[in-house]
Chain A
C-alpha cells in the first residue's frame, strides 16, 4: 500500500480542523434541542454566519471581528426562527426548512462581491516548545484558537447542563414544557435564549468554514454541513461528549477523503481501513456504555462487527483483484453523506427530550 504523502499526524490535525465547523454548529443545536426546540435551519444559520463573518473579517481586516460577526449573524437569523415558532407558534419543521432556504438566498446575495477574495488568516497558537513535541505537539498544541474554543464550548455546555440551575431549568423546559410552565418557568424565554445560542454557534461554525477551513467565500459552501450537524446531535443522544466523538469521526472521514483526493490514493486501499475503524469505534462506544452500566444495543454491536468483517474481506479482495474499478470521485465525494446515513442507522438514538419539536402555547 503506497501511502505517499499520507501522514497520520497531519491527518489528525486536519481532522480537527475539518470537524470544528460541525462541532460548533451541533453543540448549539444540542442546547436548542435540550430546550425542546428542533431547529432544522442550522444549514441556513451556518451559511449566514459564514458570509457575515467573511465580509466583516475582510472589511475590518481582523478574523476575530469576523467570528463575532458570524455569531451575531447566526443569532439574528435564529431569532427570526424564535419569533415564528415561539411567538407566532408556527410548525418547527417547516420553519426550520424556511430558515435554511432563506439563509441560502440571503448569504448568496450578501456574498456577491466577495467571491474569490481572501480572508485575513487566523494564526495558529504557538506554544513554543510544546508545539514542537513530536506527533502530539502538532495535534494538541498546534491548532488555531477556534479549535480550542470549540472544545471549551463542549465542556462548558456539558458542565452547565449537568451542574447548574440554569441547565436544570433548560432541561426541564425541554422535557415537559407544560410542567415547567405550571411551576412558573418562562418557557418561551428559555427557548428563545437556547435558540439564539444555537444560532450563534451555528454562525461561528459557518465563520470557521469561510475564514479558516476553506478559507474563501463561495455560494452554498456549507454543502450540507448544517444537516450533518443535526444528524450528529441525534447520534450523540443529546450528550455533549458523544457529540465531540461524533463530530471528530465525521471530521476524520472528510479529512481522509480530501487527503485521498489530494494524495492520489486509491479508495479501495483506504476503504477497508475506514470500515474497520468505524466498526471499532462503534464497538468502543458500546463498550464504554456497558462499563457505565448502561444497556448494550445488540443491533449496534452486530453492525460494528459486520463493519470490521466487511473491512477485512474487502482488504482481502483488494489483494486478490487489484484491478477492481470503482468510480472513485463519486464514492469519495458522497462519503460524508453516506456515512451520516450509515451512522444514523447504526446508532440507536437515546431518548429525545420529551417536548422536542412540540409547539408550546400556554392556554391560561
Chain B
C-alpha cells in the first residue's frame, strides 16, 4: 500500500521538478487526446510547442509570445499576492474587462485631442484604477461583511461581461461606426495607441510593465515586510494575527494589487492588440492566468516562465486550429489538464511517498 508521510519542509527539488513533470504528463495525455480526435499526436504537439518558436514562419509567431504572455503574466503576478495569502480572487477576468473599459472611456472622453503625453498616461492610470475598483468590491464586502470573495469576484466577471456588451453597444459605441458594435479604434489613434517599442518584436508597453511587475514582486516577496506578511498569512493565519498582521488590510492590499494589475493588462490590450472595446474583447486571460499563477508556483520568476509557456499554447493552439483543424475546445481542455496534472503531482513536494506492505501481508510473512 502506498503511504504518504508529511515532509518536515516542502522538498525544493520537487517544487522545481513538478511543473516540468506536469507539462510532460500533459503532453502525453494531450497527445492521446489529439489521437482520439484523429490527429497525429506528434505533429500536434510539435505544432503547439515547437512551430511557434522554430518553424519556418516563427518570425511571425515569436512576437506573439510577448503579446499573449504579457497580460497573462501581469494578471498572474497580481493573483499571486492573494493566492499566497489564501485570498482567492478568481474574478481577474472581470477586473481586466473593467480596466479596459475605464481606460477606453478616459481616452475617448478626450477624443480627438492629440496629446499623447497626457492621454496615454491618463489611460494607464484609469485602467489600473478600474481594475482596482472592481476588485475592491469583493475586498470591501469581505472585510466589512465577511462575504466570500471567491463567489463575489466570480459573479462580477459575469456582470463585467454584461457591462462590456452594454458599453460596446451603447455608451462607447463608435459614432462613426455605421451602427456596428464596438468603440473607436484606440490602436489607430496616436494619443492612445500602445505601440511596439521595437518594431517586429511584440514588445509593447504592457510587456515592459509586466517585467517591472515581476521584478517588483520578486523584491516585495523576498525582502519587504508586506511579502513576509503575505506568506505568513497564507501558511498560518493565526500566527499572522499574533505577529501583528492586519488581515483586513491584507485582503484589501492583495485584492487591490491584483485588480490594478489586471486592469493594466486590460488597458494595454484594448489600446494595442485588441484595439477597441467590443463584445468579444475578453479572451479568458483572467482565467488562464490562474493556471499560470499555479504553474509558476506563485513565484514571480516562475510565473514569467509559465506565462511564456501558456502563451505558447495559445499561439500553437491557433496554428493547430488553422493547420490541423484542431477544435479550439481541445486547446482549452489541454490547458485545463495542465493545472490538473500540476495539482496531482504536487503531492510529492509536501509528502514523501512510501511503499508499505499491508498489515495482513505482514502477519502472513511472520
- B partners with A: yes
- Residue numbers of A with Cβ under 8 A of B are 40, 80, 83-84, 88-91, 93-95, 97-99, 101-106, 108-109, 112, 219, 223-224, 227-228, 230-231, 234, 299, 327, 329-330, 333-334, 337-338, 340-341, 344-345, 348-349, 361, 363
Interface residues of B, count at CB 8 A: 47
Contact of A231 among B137, B145, B151 (CB under 8 A): B151
Q: B147, A101: Cβ atoms under 8 Å?
A: no
The answer to whether the Cβ of B220 comes within 8 Å of any Cβ in the partner chain is no
Whole-angstrom distance between the alpha carbons of A89 and B4 in the complex? 10
Q: How far is the CB of B317 from chain A (nearest CB, A)?
A: 11
Which chain A residue lies CB-closest to B340?
A: A98
Q: A101, B287: Cβ atoms under 8 Å?
A: yes
The answer to whether the Cβ of B344 comes within 8 Å of any Cβ in the partner chain is yes
Q: A361, B343: Cβ atoms under 8 Å?
A: no
Q: A340, B343: Cβ atoms under 8 Å?
A: no
Q: How far is the CB of B158 from chain A (nearest CB, A)?
A: 4
Q: B147, A94: Cβ atoms under 8 Å?
A: no
A234-B148, A348-B146 are known; give 19 further A-B pairs, CB within 8 A: A102-B333, A105-B336, A106-B329, A108-B329, A109-B327, A109-B329, A109-B333, A112-B327, A223-B158, A227-B151, A231-B155, A299-B145, A330-B163, A330-B165, A334-B158, A334-B162, A341-B141, A341-B156, A361-B4
Q: B343, A338: Cβ atoms under 8 Å?
A: no
Q: B163, A105: Cβ atoms under 8 Å?
A: no
The answer to whether the Cβ of B185 comes within 8 Å of any Cβ in the partner chain is no
Q: B158, A89: Cβ atoms under 8 Å?
A: no
- Hey, what's the 0/1 contact readout for B281-315 against A, CB within 8 Å counting as 1? 00000010011001000000000000000000000
Q: A101, B155: Cβ atoms under 8 Å?
A: no
Q: Please name the 5 residue pairs, one residue from A and one from B, whose CB atoms are nearest each other, closest first.
A: A105-B333, A108-B329, A102-B336, A105-B332, A330-B166
- Residue numbers of B with Cβ under 8 A of A are 4, 6, 88, 90, 137, 141, 145-148, 150-152, 154-156, 158-159, 162-163, 165-166, 169-170, 287, 290-291, 294, 327-337, 339-340, 343-344, 346-347, 350-351
Contact of B340 among A40, A84, A223 (CB under 8 A): A84
Q: B145, A345: Cβ atoms under 8 Å?
A: yes
Interface secondary structure of A, over-half rule: helix
Whole-angstrom distance between the alpha carbons of A231 and B145 in the complex? 15
Residue contacts A-B, CB under 8 angstroms, 8 given: A90-B343, A93-B150, A94-B339, A98-B340, A101-B290, A105-B329, A327-B170, A334-B158
With a cutoff of 8 Å between Cβ atoms, the chain B residues found around residue A40 in the complex are: 150
Q: Which residue among A99, A102, A234, A361 has the maximum number of chain B CB atoms within 10 Å of its CB?
A: A102
A227-B154, A330-B162, A345-B147 are contacts. A108–B6 as well, Cβ < 8 Å?
A: no
Q: B343, A94: Cβ atoms under 8 Å?
A: yes
With a cutoff of 8 Å between Cβ atoms, the chain B residues found around residue A84 in the complex are: 340, 343-344
Q: How far is the CB of B78 from chain A (nearest CB, A)?
A: 16
Contact of A363 among B6, B150, B155, B331 (CB under 8 A): B6
Contact of B158 among A219, A224, A299 (CB under 8 A): A224
Whole-angstrom distance between the alpha carbons of A88 and B350 in the complex? 10
Whole-angstrom distance between the alpha carbons of A104 and B331 in the complex? 11
Which chain B residue lies CB-closest to A234?
A: B148
Q: B294, A94: Cβ atoms under 8 Å?
A: yes
Whole-angstrom distance between the alpha carbons of A328 and B346 in the complex? 47
Contact of A102 among B151, B327, B331, B337 (CB under 8 A): B337
With a cutoff of 8 Å between Cβ atoms, the chain A residues found around residue B346 in the complex are: 88, 90
With a cutoff of 8 Å between Cβ atoms, the chain A residues found around residue B350 in the complex are: 89
Q: Which residue among B141, B165, B290, B340 has the maximum number of chain A CB atoms within 10 Å of its CB?
A: B340
Which chain B residue lies CB-closest to A104?
A: B332
